[in-house]
Amino acid sequence: MVSGIHGSVRDLFEFTDADRALARIRDIYDTGATAVREAFTRFGEGQQTSPVRAYYPYLGIEVPPEKLHVESTLSYGAPRDPGVYGTTLTRPDLFEEYYREQIELLLKNHDVPVVVGVSERPIPLPFLVETATDAIGPTDIRQLQMTFDMPDLARTDDDIANGVHIRTGDVPKPLSLFSGERVDYSLARLRHYTATLPEHFQKFVLFTNYQRYVDEFIEYAKSQLEDPKSPYVAFVEPGPAVHVRKNAPKKWQAGGEAVKQLPQMPSYHLIREDGLGVTLVNIGVGPSNAKTATDHIAVLRPHCWLMLGHCAGLRRSQLLGDYVLAHGYVRDDHVLDSDLPLWIPVAPIAEVQVALADSVAKITGLTGKEMKARMRTGTVATTDNRNWELRYSELFVRLNQARAIAVDMESATIAANGFRFRVPYGTLLCVSDKPVHGELKLPGMANNFYRQRIGQHLEIGLQTIETLRAEVNQLHSRKLRSLDEPAFR
C-alpha cells in the first residue's frame, strides 16, 4: 500500500498490470454502487436506513523527471511534466477498453506503477439508480437527500478541458479531461436527450440538421442487417429499440420498442462489435442543440464527429446541391463564447479534410474542374439567428471580409466543441438554397433535390468514416493538445 502524495485518497495499491488495475477499479465501483442501490431499495420500501455512500475509484501516477517520455510525435498517453497526476473514474463496465488503453500507455511510457484507490468524491444517487419508485413522494425528498449523496455541480465543470483549471492546495494534477462525476452527468443527459443508452454510442458520430438524413440512415442500417457479411451486428433507434442481424453473436438480443414521440436529439446507432460503428444524431436546427449534444457525447471519447447538413450558399457560382467543405469558421453562434473565446482559431484536421474530399470524389465520380465547380472549400459562417437573411445588409461586410462561402446554424459549434474536447471534427454541407441571390426552393424543386442529394451526401459521410476507421491512430493529432495536456486521450 502507498499513501501521502495522492492527497486524501485511501486504500491505494500499486499496479504494473493494466488488467489487475482495472479489476481493482471495478471492485471499488461495484461494491459502492451495490451498497447504494440496496439501501435505496430499502428506502423505497419504507425501511429506515442510515446514510450510505459510494465513492468514485481513483487512478493516479507519479512521474519523476528521469521517467518522462518526451517523444515529439506522441499526442497522448504521457504527461508532459514530472509530478503527481490523478483522476476519478466511473462506469468501468462502459469504459473498460478505453481505461485499459490509457493505463497501458502510462505503464509503457513511464515504466512506473499506477495506483488505484478510493477517492473522496461520493457517487451521487441519480447516477447509480436509473429509475425511481412510486413509493417515494415529494415529502420523502428531504430524507432522501439526507440519506444519499446528490450531484455537487459546484465541483463539476469543464475547467480542465477549457484550459483554465487552477490547482488549489497540494492535490494531483489532472490525468484526464473529465472527472467521474462530470462523465456521469453527461451519461444521464444522453439517456434523456437521445432515448438510447450510452453503451449504444459508437466511436464515429454523424450530426445532421434534417430528418431526411435519418430516414436514409435507417434504410441503410436495415440493409446492413440483412447482409450476412456486414460488419454491423445491430441497429438501435430511440426507445431504445434494438434490431439484430440474423447471424449476430448470441450476446446481441433484439428487443424494446421505438418511442412514439421522438426526444429532443434522437440518436441512431449502427453497431459493430469493436465499437467502431456509426452513430447518427439529429440535432435539429440551431447551435444550442449542437452544443448540448457534443458537450455530452464528448465524454464517450469518440474518434471523430462530422457534420452533414444543409446550408445557404453565398456565391453566385454555386448551384443547389453543391457541396461545401469547411476549412474555417465564422463563429457567430455565441453558445461557446465563454468556454472557447472567439480569438481562438478552430483549425481544420488534415486527415478528416482529405478523407471527406476523397469520399466526395469517389461517391460522385467527379474529377478535375468539374469537381472544383461542384465542391467549394472555404469558410462557413454559423449564426444563431434563423432569419439571418433579414439582417443581410448588416451582415454583408462581415461575410464579405471573412470570404465566407456558406451560412448554417450548427457547423462551427460542432467543430469548436471538437477542438475544445480534443475530438477530431469535419464539416461537409450541401447547398439547399441561395437566399441572398433570390434562389429559393419551390416545393417541386425541393422534393427532387432531396431525392437526388441526401442519399449521396449520407453515402459520402459513411465512406469518410470507412476511410478514417482504417487510420484511426493518425486522427488524434497533436494540434488538438494543450501545453499542459492531461495524459488520457
CATH number at residue 364: 3.40.50.1580
**171 with 263, same domain?**
no
Answer yes or no: pTM beyond 0.85: yes
Is 144 inside any structural domain?
A: yes
* 278-282/204-208 β-pairing: parallel
Residue type, 331: R
Is 485 domain-assigned? no
The sign of the torsion formed by the CA atoms of 157, 161, 166, 172 equals positive
Specify whether 76 is located in the same domain as 121: yes
- Residue 206 within a domain: yes
Query: Residue 4: which residues within 8 A CB-CB, separation 6 or more?
Result: none
Q: Are residues 176 and 232 in the same domain?
A: no
Give Cα separations from 246 to 226, 238, 254, 279, 427 (angstroms).
Answer: 7, 21, 10, 21, 35
Decide if 2 is inside a domain.
no
Q: Does 457 lie in the same domain as 353?
A: yes
Among 175, 190, 205, the domain boundary falls at: 190
User: Burial, 37: exposed, middle or buried (Cβ in 10 Å; 0-12, 13-18, 19+)?
Assistant: middle
Whether 61 and 83 have beta carbons less than 8 Å apart is answered as no
Three state DSSP letters for the chain: CECCCCCCCEEEEEECCHHHHHHHHHHHHHHHHHHHHHHHHHHHCCCCCCCCCCEEEEEEEEECHHHCCCCCCCCCCCCCCCEEEEEECCCHHHHHHHHHHHHHHHHHHHCCCEEEEEEEEECCHHHCCCCCCCCCCHHHHHHHHHHCCCCCHHHCCCHHHHCCCCCCCCCCEECCCCCHHHHHHHHHHHHHHHCCCHHHCCCEEEEECCHHHHHHHHHHHHHHHCCCCCCEEEEEECCCEEEECCCCCCCCCCECCCCCCCCCCCEEEEEECCCCCEEEEECCCCHHHHHHHHHHHHHHCCCEEEEEEEEEECCCCCCCCCEEEEEEEEEECCCCCCCCCCCCCCCCCHHHHHHHHHHHHHHHCCCHHHHHHHEEEEEEEEECCCCHHHHHHHHHHHHHHCCEEEEECCHHHHHHHHHHCCCCEEEEEEEEEEHHHCECCCHHHHHHHHHHHHHHHHHHHHHHHHHHHCCHHHHCCHHHCCCCCCCCC
Q: Which domain holds residue 450?
A: 196-475
- Quick one: 127 and 231 in the same domain? no
Which string of b and e fits 351-380 if b means at least 16 CB within 10 Å? bbbbbbbebbeebbebeeeeeeebbbbbbb
The answer as to whether 441 is a domain residue is: yes
Last residue of a domain, one of 190, 211, 235: 190
Whether 484 is in a domain gets the answer no
Task: Please classify residue 232 by burial: count the beta carbons closer than 10 Å to its beta carbon, then call 0-12 exposed, 13-18 middle and 19+ buried.
Answer: buried
- For the record, the C-alpha cell of 295 comes out as 458537450
Cα angle value 239/152/192 (rounded, 5°)? 10
Q: Are residues 156 and 212 part of one domain?
A: no
Q: Are residues 170 and 263 in the same domain?
A: no
Domain count, the chain: 2
412 backbone dihedrals φ, ψ, rounded to 5°: -65, -35
CA distance 367 to 380: 23
Give the up-direction half-sphere exposure of residue 229: CA atoms within 13 A in the CB hemisphere.
0
- Give the domain CATH number at 147: 3.30.1730.10
Q: Is residue 89 part of a domain?
A: yes
Is the distance from CB of 297 to CB of 281 less than 8 angstroms? yes
- Show which of 190, 217, 250 is a domain's final residue: 190
pLDDT of residue 451: 67
Residues 240 and 380 grouped into a single domain:
yes
Q: Mark whether 90 and 165 lie in a shared domain.
A: yes
Residue 4 within any structural domain of the chain: no
Cis-peptide, bond into residue 240, ω within 30° of zero: yes
Are 243 and 302 in the same domain?
yes
Per-residue pLDDT tens listing for the chain (489 residues)? 555 789 899 999 999 999 999 999 999 999 999 999 999 988 888 887 889 999 999 999 999 999 988 777 888 999 989 999 999 999 999 999 999 999 999 999 999 999 999 999 999 999 999 765 556 766 777 888 889 999 988 889 999 999 999 887 788 999 999 999 999 999 999 999 999 999 999 999 999 999 999 999 999 999 999 998 999 999 999 999 999 998 888 888 899 999 999 999 999 999 999 999 999 999 999 999 999 999 999 999 999 999 999 999 999 999 999 999 999 999 999 999 999 999 999 999 999 999 999 999 999 999 999 999 999 999 999 999 988 888 888 888 999 999 999 999 999 999 999 999 999 999 999 999 887 766 666 665 555 666 678 999 999 999 999 999 998 888 888 889 998 899 999
Same domain flag for 136 and 16? yes
- My answer on whether 217 and 140 are in the same domain is no
CA-closest candidate to residue 88, choices 174, 147, 206 = 174
